[in-house]
Structure 1
Amino acid sequence: MNLLKHIAAIAVLLIFSLSTQAQKKELGDDQYFKSNFKGITQNLPAVVKWIDDSHFILRRDGKNYEIDCRNGAEKEYVEPNINKGTVSVTPNIITKGNDLYLRKNTEDIRLTNDEDAEINATLSPDGNYVAYTKKNDLYSVNLATLKENRITKDGSETILNGYASWVYMEEILGRSGRYRAFWWSPDSKRIAFFRSDDTKIPVFTITDAPGLHGVVETQRYPKVGDPNPEVKVGMVEPDGNNIVWAAFNEKDDQYFGMPYWKPDGSSLLVQWMNRLQNNLIIYEVNKFTGAKAEFYNETQKSWVDLDDQGGRIQFMNDKTGFILQSDASGWNHLYFHDMKGKLVNAITTGKFTVTDIKYVDEKKGVVYFTARTLENTARNDFYRINVNGKNMEKLTLGEYNNSINLSPQGSYFITTYSNAGSPPKMTLMSTKRKIIKDLGDSKGAEFENYNLAKTEIIRVKSDDGLYDLPMKVTWPVNMDKNKKYPVLVSVYGGPNAGSVMDTWGINGNQQWYAKEGLIQVSMDHRASGHFGKEGVSNMYHNLGYWEMKDYSSMVKWLIEKGSADATKICITGFSYGGYMTCYALTYASDVFTHGMAGGSVTDWTLYDSHYTERFMGTPANNPEGYKSSSVMTHAAKYKGMIQVVHGMIDDNVHIQNSIQFISKLQDLKKDFEFMPYSGGRHGWGGNKGTHFQNLKTKFIYKYLLEKDAPKTMLK
């Protein structure tokens, strides 16, 4: 009798649970089309700044609060009245028209007065000079005398002083530098700069259609095997006196990475790399003579990455040495070297990836860092370890991805953490692993009352059994286990450029497509960064192959699970993701049926020297690799439907790539969709950007959902 009552009670609870689930609210137009999830989620407070090692300012609901990390106490923060009424005398450089002005207090003092634009104006660390480039020469202005100094005098269309050659900007120094190729020493006594001779680089012609006769641009763009810029490394006093050239031969086939000044400005460390990009040597260069001495040397069987952010080396303030990051072991780790460059000891070791150094406590000999471990490669956790490599300890708690804000001396940290199923929370902790205070939860009061699509991280074993491949899946709401659903796979796919992280995310499009019955997936292959340089090196001389093998394995898992419609597997991506899409619709056409490709490389002989040769070598030493990685090689296998999109004046991945691909499809009498965007470079906005979004929406509805796109989804 008691057993029957127990069973009856369970039945009632089950019915109640199902009833409650059925009564959950559905999202409305505000959420779907305006991404307004107010009440479902809410903003976390913002950390304004640290006041000192145990106090910080938190902004919440429009007010600032001072938080005491020692006990979690908070009080409304009022800006102190120290020096109230005085005006800052910190100099600031502004641009009006094409000229530079020094803004000091409320006065703007003119520094230049000509028609030519001053580019990348950069103050010296001591605030006494400003350096910039003009018409491809390097200049400075002494802010005390207002005298302009023309430091170099041979700038031209092909000789660039302090202004990067295109391939250096794009691949070595980074677009965020806006072509800047000069660097102040910490003591403000020298400027290091690159002088690039682009004379031998072939000219690529870019055309567009506006006006009566169209528009033509020319670009010095080295494709694989082409001559690269000839680069010299110079050092000069800020008034333009005494240019010293580092003792390299600019005629050698080589690259230079971003140089580092030593913290005291005593010498310049120059990253040198051979054309094959498998040998990195950091030279210490004498700023008075240009003489160089080897400081660090690394060789790998595949390639070595240049450092474009200045983070490879971190010097100790006590001048005992420096911490260097390297993935030569197969995983990115930290190493302690003395000031002469000699290795003292490895700080971290093992099959995990260090992602960032947060702080070095030199007094205690402790390094605080974030890392992705094999326990879950889709998460960042926070650790500390002694500089001697002992006593590594994880500081974050639970199964979450963490973003860390550490106090100035490393006593406390604020972690913002989430996973695929849990919205972000913010917590204050001590570096002794003690929770001090919960600061915020982005889960709103209505979160549990709405029927939201489920997102989860799934691991699929690779075909060769070597890797547990991660994918992030958002399932349709109210899934019917007896129904098969179309799949939309979004990828980038480049080397060490994964997109799958165990983090929370919600937006209107995601939820709408889940309601419409679309399985939405992002995937990472073995070379995406989850498995260290060991995994990434699989791509060496073989772009396309392992990416597509692994993507295909994950799609097949979805099909075998019974939820995916094998006739509606769509892949989409831009740039390298566009290449992946084109390659999927050709090489892997038995798996992928539809694709939307933007700004795509379609043959690696058409892309730039530095990026391509790093992974592929040259066509001369890797002819089979270039052949097998080309989309055109596999075009005859194409049997689905692809939408190819490209910017007409794309100066990164030339539209030549897409034109050659669709020309091949035309020759093969294959159907496809093509949309060029006049005025579009490697991405575009405005009305054309809206048109592009609508184009993709219509493609999804036409081929995957098999109905017209609702007007509410079109912008």
Structure 2
Amino acid sequence: MKKLSFLFFLFASAANAQQLAPLSVQKIMRDPKWMGTSPDEYRWSADSKTVFFNWNPENKDKSQPYKLNVASQKVDKAEKEEAEKSASINYVYNKDKSLGLLEKGGDIYLTNLKSKKETRLTNTLERESNARFLYNNEIVFQRADNVYQLNFSTGELTQLTNFVKGKSDAASPASRPAGRAIAQGTSQQDLWLKNDQTALFDIIKKRNAEGGNRTMGRGRGFGMVNDNVKPRVIKPIHLEDDFMAGLTVSPDGKYVSYRLIKQAAGNKNTIVPNYVTASGYTEDINGRTKVGESLSTSTTYVFDVAKDSVYAVNVSQIAGIKDLPDYVKDYPKQLEERTKKNEDRKVNLNVVNWNENGSFAVVSGRAQDNKDFWILKLDPTTGKLTLIDRQRDEAWVGGPGVSRDVKWIDNQRFYFQSEATGYSHLYTYNVNTGEKKQLTSGKWEVQQAQLSKDKSTFYISGNKEHPGITHFYKLSVNGGDLVQITSMKGGNEVTLSPDEKWLAINHSYMDKPWELYIQANKPGAKAVKITKSTSAEFDSYQWRQPDLVSFKNRYGDDVYARVYPSKNPHPNKPAVVFVHGAGYLQNVHYWWSQYFREYMFNNLLADNGYTVIDIDYTASSGYGRNHRTGIYRHMGGKDLTDQVDGVKMLVEKYGVNPKNVGLYGGSYGGFITLMGLFNESDTFRAGAALRSVTDWAHYNHGYTANILNEPFNDPNAYKKSSPIYFADKLKGDLVMLHGMVDVNVHFQDIVRLSQRFIELGKDNWELAVYPVEDHGFVEPSSWTDEYKRIFKLFENTLKK
């Protein structure tokens, strides 16, 4: 390790002899390799003696495989084949873990884990997958859409199911339960968008009056037959046009469960034009649908092998299946219509989850309106569902680990996570006694949980010490004291060795990117730093450790922030607010930010006399349910006023001039920037909005419908939350920056807002476009151009 580090330092010193200071946009927006490349993709050898990882200490074109000898703590280069051969294998074990199953190259292999002898069980052109042991040690696996059972002691292979793609010539209820009707014609969402577009733009009204809106053209083997043996017949189950998923066999081999997914019909996909292409022609990128379009639906079935019969699991049995969300009370006509219809809400059930001996089956499900998550007992003989746990949230069910499938501890207990207390915590449930037990508690979140091999201990990652610090803990499956194992302040991402004796820790701090540490899996054990990845040039600058502070917002809630004070403030005492993206994301913490470019830019701003604040506003992750859902039905509400309240704190505690405050951010941060300039113009004098959502009715369903429901069901939420409806309030100076091939927040978003500005006669805005960039910029030249414009905006408005 010492030799490798010495060579690396020689290389770094020779290649990066210059000092980084003073910072400039051109310097910090180069290809990030100038900073040095952190290690990643940690994986352990099966014997727990070696950690393999990818790293690039020599600044090559791409990272190479390396290995750490845990005993000697020596790092060497590794061959790719060596890493693959030595890596821990994720076998599917039998009950005493003497045998293991593995899929390789589409075939199934059996390994005797004592003798290490490997036997190939299948050798076919078709792919075999999802192999597992039954409780009697026989094997089941999937080939195409069907399930086969193998007795490897006798060699007998039995086909259990006969799923057939397509429709039967004489479809009958016995072969396939009746399908659902496919909606035809124009959807409610299409009508809503059309009417909204006409209401927003004068040009649409004009062209409609002239005769319609103008559009642009785009551009088997051989053998003897024994007639005395009757062939086994399995009734065919026709899948029609549906897709199969979640095929599972009960541990006793008696039942096969599966889901059939019916694709939504009649939806329109968006088109993203790509202008800079190798062909010289504009090429269309087929994009996503918009929020409010129809969703795929699924139905869960159980096939009884002995009876050769199948039935659908009836979700009408689920407690609360007809409950309407509270928001419909704001729409009396809708409430009346939906109450009268009294329809079941659409539910997607997860894979049927069996305990080890097959005596108990659990299935979880989520309502498509995002308000409910259920854990249910399934009786496979009747299809009856019995409620075990219901998580209802009038905003939307979420939080770390919540709405994931349950995992079994033993034949009696499984574990899951719930936000029932307002924070995501760990619970167990005993299927024999019906006891639900909460194992963790407090105003902190269980972010990850895994069970030890002997199933006696949980290993937990959580932010118990502080919202911005993660640690690794252990806890008995029966509950008790939570024991902290890691001790380094900052971020600790742990990869546990197969023998559970060692931790490979990916650790970072505010001003120090991620590095590999190794530690014994014992409380109080010392973590040893293994890698040193940053370049001499990066290390030549004294990067700030921002003040990590909290303040009370106007609603009395604690809001956390990073503040970058300027050592030499400009006479105007200007300030800049950086708004992180993604909404549900945490950026105020003690580890290295994923917004590393913005972190460096904030250092540059502070060097140039600005005080900078970065806020984990309402809806950021890491702070529990109320913070997570605080923007329900009003994005640009509490998340925006938190920025304003943060500025007030800067004025009171850091001496900032309230007349010279700007803000910038990308994606969700760009959205907040627009809302800030439109609706809080007394606070924000200038702003830079990058890849911004300007109208939530044009974003995707999975993200938006959680927060704002659907445009045609809850239009008020969209009108309150979309910047395009407030464009007339723009007062300060605005620069917008957007990639033209953005397949996430489409370029159309910024074009529509630009047209609004034109129709409103606004002249205090600019738009910079980036023809080759998607949502996440890639080219250093684009990053540089973008941030030079942002810096120029603040220099010209906040200092003059």
Alignment partners' CA distance in 1, 2:738 and 2:756: 16
Q: Is the partner of 1:591 in helix, strand or coil?
A: coil
Closer, same or farther: CA 129–362 of 1 in aligned 2, 3 Å:
closer
Higher strand content, 1 or 2 = 1
Q: Which residue of 2 aligns with 1:498?
A: 586
Q: Secondary structure, in 3 states, of the residue corresponding to 1:636?
A: helix
Q: Is the 8 A contact 1:49 1:56 kept in 2?
A: yes
Cα drift, residue 533 of structure 1: 0.7
AA of the residue aligned to 2:496: L
Cα shift at 1:674: 3.6
**Equivalent in the alignment of 1:33:** 30
- 5 Å-filtered alignment, 1:282-293, equals 282-285=375-378, 290-293=383-386
For residue 576 of structure 2, what is the aligned residue in structure 1?
Answer: 487
Residue aligning to 1:198: 264
Is residue 2:254 matched to residue 1:183?
no
Q: Which residue is 1:351 aligned to? A: 443
Aligned to 2:164: 151
Task: Report the secondary structure of 2:505's partner residue.
Answer: strand
Asked if residue 583 in structure 1 is aligned to residue 589 in structure 2, the reply is no
2:298 is equivalent to residue 231 of structure 1: yes
Report the 3-state secondary structure (helix = DSSP H, G, I; strand = E; otherwise coil) of the residue aligned with 1:33. coil
Equivalence map 1:81-230=2 (5 Å): 91-93=104-106, 110-111=125-126, 123-126=129-132, 151-153=164-166, 182-185=245-248, 190=256, 192-199=258-265, 202-203=267-268, 206=271, 208=273, 221=289, 223-224=291-292, 227-230=294-297
Q: Distance in 2 between the 1:295 and 1:462 partners?
A: 38
Does the aligned pair in 2 maintain the 1:498–1:529 contact within 8 Å?
Answer: yes
Shift of residue 25, structure 1, vs aligned partner? 7.7
Residue aligning to 2:766: 673
- Distance of 1:677 and 1:443 partners within structure 2: 32
**Residue in structure 2 matched with residue 440 of structure 1 by the alignment:** 530
- Displacement, 1:489? 1.2
- Residue aligned with 1:553, SS: helix
In the other structure, the counterpart of 1:271 is 364
Amino acid at match of 2:315: F
1:530 alignment partner in structure 2: 622
The AA in structure 1 aligned to 2:262 is S
Equivalents in 2 of 1:447, 1:514: separation in Å?
15
Q: What's the offset of the Cα at 1:295?
A: 3.7
Q: What are the within-5 Å matches in structure 2 for residues 256-655 of structure 1?
A: 256=348, 258-264=350-356, 266=358, 269-285=362-378, 290-305=383-398, 311-316=404-409, 318-339=410-431, 342-360=434-452, 362=454, 365-373=456-464, 375-408=465-498, 410-422=500-512, 424=514, 426-435=516-525, 438-440=528-530, 442=532, 450-464=540-554, 466-473=556-563, 479-480=568-569, 484=573, 487=576, 489-492=578-581, 494=583, 496-504=584-592, 511=600, 514-515=603-604, 517=607, 521-560=613-652, 561-562=654-655, 566-567=659-660, 569-574=662-667, 576-608=668-700, 611-617=703-709, 624-645=716-737, 653=745
Alpha-carbon distance in 2 for matches of 1:567, 1:479:
16
* 1:472-506 Cα deviation digits (max 9, x unpaired): 34566x64575645636141152x32233211369
Partners of 2:267 and 2:28 lie apart in 1 by: 51
Aligned letter for 2:639? E
Indicate if the aligned counterparts of 1:195 and 1:234 stay in contact, CA closer than 8 A.
Answer: no
What displacement does 1:331 show?
A: 0.4
Separation in 2 of the partners of 1:449 and 1:195?
53
Cα root mean square deviation, aligned = 5.1
Call closer, same or farther: CA 1:571–1:426 in 2, change over 3 Å: same
Letter of the 2:580 counterpart: V
Paired residue secondary structure (1:569):
strand
Aligned AA (2:494): I
Cα offset for 1:627?
3.1
* Closer, same or farther: CA 559–341 of 1 in aligned 2, 3 Å: farther
Quote the sequence identity (%): 18
Q: Which residue matches 2:12?
A: none
Q: Deviation per CA, 1:673-709: give whole Å up to 9, x if none.
A: 34567787x63667xx5664354134224312459xx
Question: Which residue matches 1:699?
Answer: 789
Letter in 2 for 1:366: T
CA apart distance, 1:550: 0.8
Does the C-alpha gap of structure 1 residues 590 and 361 become closer, same or farther in structure 2, counting only changes over 3 Å?
A: farther
Partner Cα separation in structure 2 for residue 30 and residue 530 of structure 1: 33
What do residues 187-211 of structure 1 show as CA deviations (whole Å, max 9, x unaligned)?
7974623322423x55355364879
Length, aligned pairs only: 618
Separation in 1, partners of 2:689, 2:27: 30
Q: In structure 2, how many angstroms separate the alpha carbons of the residues matched to 1:431 and 1:347?
A: 21
Give the Cα–Cα distance (whole angstroms) in 1 for the partners of residues 534 and 783 of structure 2.
30
Deviation string, structure 1 residues 142-173 (Cα, Å, up to 9, x no partner): 99999x98733159xx999xxxxxx9xxxxxx
Deviations 1:327-384 (A, max 9, x none): 1210000011013693431101111111011334656x432211113x4201111222
The change in CA–CA distance for 1:141 and 1:691 in structure 2 (over 3 A counts) is farther
Deviations 1:489-543 (A, max 9, x none): 141152x322332113696785477447455653211331232113223223332
The answer to whether the 8 A contact 2:462-2:470 is kept is yes
Does the CA-based 8 Å contact 2:573-2:660 persist in structure 1? no
CA distance in 1 between partners of 2:691 and 2:663 (Å):
17
Q: TM-score, normalised by structure 2?
A: 0.64
Distance change >3 Å, CA 613–CA 268, structure 1 → 2: farther
Matched AA of 2:585: A
Hey, what's the Cα distance between the residues in 2 that align with 1:424 and 1:202?
Answer: 43
Paired letter, 2:576: V
Q: Is the 8 A contact 1:492 1:498 kept in 2?
A: no
Give, in whole Å, the separation in 2 of the partners of 1:58 and 1:652: 34
Distance 1:392 1:27, change over 3 A: same
Residues 577, 613 of structure 2: 8 Å contact kept? yes
Match for residue 70 of structure 2 among 67, 70, 94: 67
Can you list the C-alpha shifts for 1:569-620, whole angstroms capped at 9, x where unaligned? 131211x333223222212233334444355433334445554343234567
Residue identity opposite 1:455 in structure 2: Q
Q: Give, as a single letter, the amino acid of the residue that structure 1 aligns with 2:588.
A: V
**Separation in structure 2 between the aligned mates of residue 123 and residue 219 of structure 1, nearest angstrom:** 31
Judged with a 3 Å threshold, the aligned counterparts in structure 2 of structure 1 residues 398 and 73 are, in CA distance, closer, same or farther, namely closer
Unaligned 5+ runs, structure 2: 1-17, 58-64, 87-100, 108-118, 133-138, 151-156, 169-179, 183-188, 190-241, 322-342
- Residue type of the alignment partner of 1:195: I
TM-score, length of structure 1 as denominator length:
0.70
